Structure 1
């Protein structure tokens, strides 16, 4: 039996402002009409039955902006981020319950692979090695001295799989040049194949503190096997696990790692430079998406999300526009986007966390205008969905229905509000908004008060099991 474990818990900071902390790049459509997560699962077929795919992601994603994106998939939710080793250990333990020992394909959710037949051939080679008890990683032949990737040294000599000699974290430019000249270094793709029992044995050997917490989680699962729900035990104990990568915690310490070299049209889409390389370009090396006017430009990426972006006479730039932010950075320096996001986080800026249009399990809202005293939103509620029963301590709300029919709970009252009608929610009043109709409900909400942030929500009942302001 072959299972896929898709790691979808990253924050995607290097593709800001398109990627935000609460809706990172793995849930976005960077190419075509499929998100990177959807494309990752699609390309595994027919080797992996979709029913045997498990997505490991954060509670914040699954109960917030990525709720709809994750609905089609089986999920295992991390209450806090603890890097890849705890996520992989948790998935291996869950897939091993009842004595099973599947081969696990462990793949990031946010990569692009263009050559599916070559990818499948590499997977088959890796599966053969994993069935013999090896830990298998995939090596990508370097095309340039990249400092944003880790490296793996293995002398393949034409073999389908070769022993790994060493792992190296992201090098400086001179070291990357030396690796390229050496000829036996490969980019570390972050994709792995192994039996669940093999990786659990290695984790027990090399990461005993992590394994001890894992055993306590498994004991809770065994206590109620009929429940078939991993989350209560995970949410109680997962935070005690150390934060460590599978590369550093296990693979660099193991003598049982094999490398499958592959040429599969791979990219980790780890920067706007990578997006430019993947995009369709004109004769002068320009890649444009959205409403773009570019005159006399060269080697430039322009992404327009909301407005017209016009450029004349610019070269070697990445320009990315969204409704609330514009990024301008030279080509070749797009890794510095992480520095910008770090500064935004230091300032606790909303632009690092959310877009102006924020996805929610029940629909979405868009901030139309705000000031210190009021905020105006457009709220869309999908048919059959409802917001939580809640109240606010610092603001009142005025709702005007512009399409559909709203079912409103206000205190002990339950009533409907139709198009071109309105209602008022006083400060401190329990209330709920529902769409019991067949078409999307749209309202304009005007908040008035001394504090208008999303954490001024006290929930009393919520079908989406959210405990924070989502």
Structure 2
């Protein structure tokens, strides 16, 4: 039995303003109609595999669950990391979960935020690796380099291990440009993809031998597993005590069982806006556009327009990203400095680094369309059959106006149904709840007024999503 393990715990800043701490790049539609996470799942179709195990951050659980539901692969298969501890512990949690299901389980470890342009080439590399994993090898996939890339680590191949694989000679840190050119000219080096396949028990044995502290901490964390909707919760205290380490440093660079299988599938880790431009479809002028974009006398640009028209005249080699609450204009050759902008935003006590104007919740989403010193206006969408928590606010009152659908509103002991063009007032301090009993999405406008309008002014009394 082969279990795909999808690592979706990242919360990087290099693709800001599309990527935010609470909505990182694996959940974004960057190069098509599916998100990077959904593309990772779709890439597995045609291989004989079990349902995937997804590992994600606690704060991202409802976004991950919704996207897995949309892909048709949601079913108590999301392992929650209470804190990030890098890839070695994350893979250990998945390996222990898979080994419990089947002692001979093989796990295929993938990242949720990579782009792979050729699914057939990807699947063939997986097929080439599986016999080696069955024999006890710890297999990693080495990407055939397309040029002297300095943003990736490299794997040097050693002796052949069958027709399609090589013993790993060494892992090499990210090189400078001259060294990267030498690696590419040599022909015996691959980009380090961060994808693996091995027996779950074999990985755990090597982790226990090489890093017994990580293995023991993960064992303790898995000794007390709790079920919560479609989530698997590990012991927070024990996992928080686990050392943070990558699988490369903890196991792959130390084991004598590491094998590399070459993969030439149009792979990218989309680690920057420039990397995304390189793998994106482009027009005849080299522009990669998404959204409502008009370009004139412009070339080799990457332009994202989320909800407004973006136009360019006479520009070259730019990254232009427009979202509902931020705009980025950057030189395509200096996109690594985007992380510095994020640090400045964080340092100025702003919120644009953390979340979007539109925020997803397990019951739907809300969009903060306007705000002032003592008011805020939100557009709220509640999915059919879903409900918000029974709650109360200390510092604000709320007006709800139904735009479409049916709202079931409870204020204190009174429950009423509201339809289009009807409204209700929730006074400050009153316990209330909102539910969509209908078959279509409920859309309403919420006007908040009061002395404090933060999201932490919510006292929950009852919640079907376990947030009390």
Pair 1:111–1:360, CA change in 2 (3 A): same
Matched with 2:106 is 103
TM-aligned CA deviation for residue 80 of structure 1:
1.2
Task: List per-residue Cα deviations over 1:10-51 (Å, max 9, x = no partner).
Answer: 1142221112221222122223322211221122122233x4
Paired residues of 2:397 and 2:449 also in contact (CA < 8 A): yes
Aligned residue for 1:380, secondary structure, equals: strand
Aligned residue for 1:397, secondary structure, equals: strand
C-alpha distance in 2, partners of 1:19/1:257? 34
Aligned residue for 2:249, secondary structure, equals: helix
Pair 1:66–1:55, CA change in 2 (3 A): closer
Matched with 2:420 is 419
1:145 equivalenced with 2:143 (yes/no):
no
Unaligned runs of 5+ in 1: none
1:126 equivalenced with 2:125 (yes/no):
no
| Alignment match of 2:208 (pick from 204, 209, 214) | 204
Unaligned runs of 5+ in 2: none
RMSD: 2.2
Deviates more, 1:437-446 or 1:129-138: 437-446
Aligned residue for 1:319, secondary structure, equals: strand
Paired residues of 2:79 and 2:233 also in contact (CA < 8 A): no
Task: List per-residue Cα deviations over 1:315-361 (Å, max 9, x = no partner).
Answer: 11111111111111112222222222233233342211222111111
TM-aligned CA deviation for residue 439 of structure 1:
2.0
TM-aligned CA deviation for residue 123 of structure 1:
0.8
1:165 equivalenced with 2:173 (yes/no):
no
Aligned residue for 1:350, secondary structure, equals: coil
Paired residues of 1:23 and 1:66 also in contact (CA < 8 A): no
Paired positions, count: 462
Deviates more, 1:13-22 or 1:359-368: 13-22
Map 1:71-110 onto structure 2 (within 5 A). Answer: 71=69, 72-73=73-74, 74-97=77-100, 100-110=103-113
TM-score, scaled to structure 1: 0.93
TM-aligned CA deviation for residue 98 of structure 1:
5.5
Matched with 1:70 is 68
Map 1:195-344 onto structure 2 (within 5 A). Answer: 195-220=199-224, 231-344=232-345
Task: List per-residue Cα deviations over 1:260-298 (Å, max 9, x = no partner).
Answer: 112111111221112212222122211211111111112
C-alpha distance in 1, partners of 2:234/2:341? 37
Matched with 1:407 is 408
Aligned residue for 1:13, secondary structure, equals: coil
Give 4+ residue runs of structure 1 displaced > 4 Å after superposition.
156-159, 226-230
Paired residues of 1:21 and 1:354 also in contact (CA < 8 A): yes
C-alpha distance in 2, partners of 1:398/1:435? 17
TM-aligned CA deviation for residue 99 of structure 1:
5.5
TM-aligned CA deviation for residue 372 of structure 1:
1.8
Pair 1:18–1:214, CA change in 2 (3 A): same
Aligned residue for 2:352, secondary structure, equals: helix
Matched with 2:38 is 38
TM-score, scaled to structure 2: 0.93
C-alpha distance in 2, partners of 1:354/1:98? 37
Map 1:325-364 onto structure 2 (within 5 A). Answer: 325-364=326-365
Paired residues of 2:81 and 2:233 also in contact (CA < 8 A): no
Map 1:380-459 onto structure 2 (within 5 A). Answer: 380-459=381-460
C-alpha distance in 1, partners of 2:317/2:452? 43
Deviates more, 1:152-161 or 1:384-393: 152-161
C-alpha distance in 1, partners of 2:155/2:400? 58
Matched with 1:60 is 59
TM-aligned CA deviation for residue 458 of structure 1:
1.4
